[in-house]
Amino acid sequence: MVNTNSRSINFSAYVQPVASNDIKPAKKVSKLKSFRFNLLQPLRQSLDSLNIKNRKFAKFIAKSIPAQCPFERDIVIFSRKIGHIPPLCKLNPLYEELVCLRFRALCYLVDECGEDIESYC
C-alpha cells in the first residue's frame, strides 16, 4: 500500500507477487542467431562507392531515378477525393542509396559540366 497526499493506493489488487523460484534465467542467444548477414549490404556499398565522372552517365542516372515517388496517388471520382495511396518508395531497401546517387549525379552536372538541372526536377 502506498500513501499519497490525497488517498492511499493498494497495488495488491493489480500486481501479482512473483515467487523467487518462478523467475526463469535469461535465454542464451545462439551465435547463429546473433550473426546477421545483410544480403543487400554489398549492393548498398557499391552504389555508395559509385563515382560519376561521365556526363552521359550522370544524365542517365538523373533521368532514370525519379525525383518524387511515382506511386503516390489521390483516388478521385466525380471530382471528389475518396482515397490516397501513400508513397511506397520508402519501403524500397535501397531507397536512400538511390536518392544519394541521383543527388551526386545532379551535383556533377551542375558543378563539373555547368548544366542547368531544372529539367530533371
Q: Say what the pTM is.
A: 0.62
Enumerate the β-bridge partners of residue 83. Answer: 75
Per-residue pLDDT tens digits for 15-72: 565 655 555 666 655 555 555 668 888 999 999 999 999 999 999 999 999 888 888 8
Q: Which domain holds residue 11?
A: 2-120
Domains in the chain: how many in total? 1
pLDDT of residue 102: 94
Residue 109 pLDDT class (50, 70, 90 cuts): very high
The rounded distance, in Å, linking the Cα atoms of 58 and 84 is: 33
Alpha helix segments (H runs only) across the chain = 31-34, 41-48, 55-64, 95-111
5 vs 112: which has the higher pLDDT? 112
Q: Which residue has the cell 483516388?
A: 75
